[in-house]
Structure formats: structure tokens, C-alpha cells
Structure 1
Amino acid sequence: MFNSISKYQPQLLSVLRIIAGLMFLCHGTAKVLGFPAVEGVPGPGLSIPGLSGPLELIFGALLVLGLFTRPVAFLAAGFCAVGYWLVHAGQGPFPILNGGETIALYCFVWLYFAAAGAGPWSVDAAMAKKGG
């Protein structure tokens, strides 16, 4: 069974990028636009959480589209790594206890996309097909 679904790996790479990008985008919209309204989420401002919202919004949108995926994913992975160490790591060594499991997972998901690319359902793939 698993050998037969492996032929869909390129498409599933795109699906993973789109879904992860949408979830990342939601963090940005909650912080920048107040939607969805999430209790305790800071709005935009000159603080680490305040500056993270616009980055999550921009990176999330670009990743959903699959536009400039490798460099954006690399920057997003670094952003998540810094965010984990600045915000969560000081609260204890275990991500499940310090509230950092989501940002840690995003860090490695984006690092994977920096290496793997966007997949076939992306603006990057469409531009490569058009140019080559």
C-alpha cells in the first residue's frame, strides 16, 4: 500500500507546504489583524512578539503561494529558532512544558522546505516551467 502512495510524494510536499503555511499565516493574522481573536496574543509593536506577527504574516503568505520558497523557508526556520530560544527555552528544557513545541516543529518544517523546495503546486514551479 505505501509503495503505491509514494508516487504522490511531490503533490503531498505541496499540500504540506500549503497547510503549514496557512497555519503559520494564522499566527500572523491573529497578531497583526486581531483575527482570529486569540486571548493573550500581543498585537503589533516594538517587541519580539509584536515584530513576529508581520513576519509570520509575510512568510506564511509567501509559503502558501510557494513563492521564493527556499529562501523564505530558510529565513522562517531561522526566525523560529531564534523565537524558540528567546521566548521558550528559558522557561525549561522541554518544549511540551515551555510552550515551544509548535515553534520548534515549524523551525524544522521550514528547514525541510528550504532543502526540498515548494513542490509542483507552487508559483516557484510555475515560474520554473515557464522559464525553462
Structure 2
Amino acid sequence: MYTRLNHAQPYAIGLFRIVVGLLFACHGAASLFGLFGKDTVSAGSWPGGFAAVIQLVGGGLVLLGLGTRVAALVSSGSMAYAYFNVHQPEGLFPMQNNGEPAAMFCWAFLLIVFTGPGALSLDRLFSSRDSGGEGERTGQERRTAVPA
């Protein structure tokens, strides 16, 4: 049973990345364009405007799986900044300071940094084209693979 779950792991990671990226991009779009009844912020204002741009662009890149690890690292860092500089001064715990979304996005993006984009990503598509169809296999896997 666990081998079937292991086989599906890249797809589960890919779906996780897609959902997290979409939700993050929606936050940025709502702040920049006033969607979902949210007030707009200027893209050049500090820190809200810069955060909204990072949310929109970073979320979009993570959603597509393009430059995933770098986009996820920047997005994670922006949410850590948001939590410690905006939310945490209002109270010690996320339930007190309304910082749950910032904390969850921070840790979700940090997980994506370390797991990679998973399946269904442009990163994986481009890396398989560049390496002659070998995908993301490591050097060790290439050395031990039985030639066809």
C-alpha cells in the first residue's frame, strides 16, 4: 500500500504547490486590484504594496511551477517578515494577532523550497527537455539505471 502512496507523492506535492500558489496569488490580486471586496494598495507602498506584488508574482510562479524554489523562498521570507513585523507585535500567538495566514503560507512555501515543484510543473517540463527526457533523476540514479 505504501508503495502506491510513494508513487503518487510527486502528484500530491504538485497539487499542494498549485493550491498554495493560487491562494497566494489571489491575496496579491485582491490587494492590488481590489478584488473580493478588499481595499487596494499602491504597488510601490511599503510594506503592503511590495507584499502584494510578491504575493501576485510569487504565487503565480509557484502555481505554474516556474522558478518554483526561488519563488517559494522569497514568498516564505515575505510571510515571515509579515508575521514578525506586522502580526506578532499585536499578540504572542497567531490566534491573538490574526497571523495564521502569514504563518501557514510561510511554512507551506518553506516546505515547497525543500520538496521542489513535484509533478505538473513547468520546471519539470523544461528540465526533462534539457536533459534529453531524463527528468529530474539524480546523477546516482543515472549511473545505476539499466540502459534500454
**Fold shared by both chains (TM-score > 0.5):** yes
Partner deviation per Cα, 1:66-116 (whole Å, 9 max, x = no partner) = 000011111111111111111000011110110101111111111111111
Matched residue, 1:64? 63
Aligned to 1:12: 12
How do 1:31-46 and structure 2 match up within 5 A?
31-38=31-38, 41-44=39-42, 45-46=44-45
In structure 1, runs of 5+ residues without a counterpart are none
Stretches of structure 2 that go unaligned for 5 or more consecutive residues are 132-148
Alpha-carbon deviations, 1:27-51, whole Å to 9, x = none?
Answer: 000011111222xx45225131222
Aligned length: 130
The equivalent of 1:129 in structure 2 is 128
Q: CA RMSD in A?
A: 1.5
| One-letter identity of the residue aligned with 1:17 | R
Distance 1:104 1:42 in 2: 23
TM-score, with structure 1 as normaliser: 0.91
The AA in structure 2 aligned to 1:54 is: V
Trace 1:1-132 onto structure 2 (pairs within 5 A): 4-38=4-38, 41-44=39-42, 45-132=44-131
Structure 1 vs Structure 2: percent identity of aligned residues? 32
* 1:7 positional shift: 2.4
TM-score (norm 2): 0.82
Q: Which 4+ runs in 1 deviate beyond 4 A?
A: none
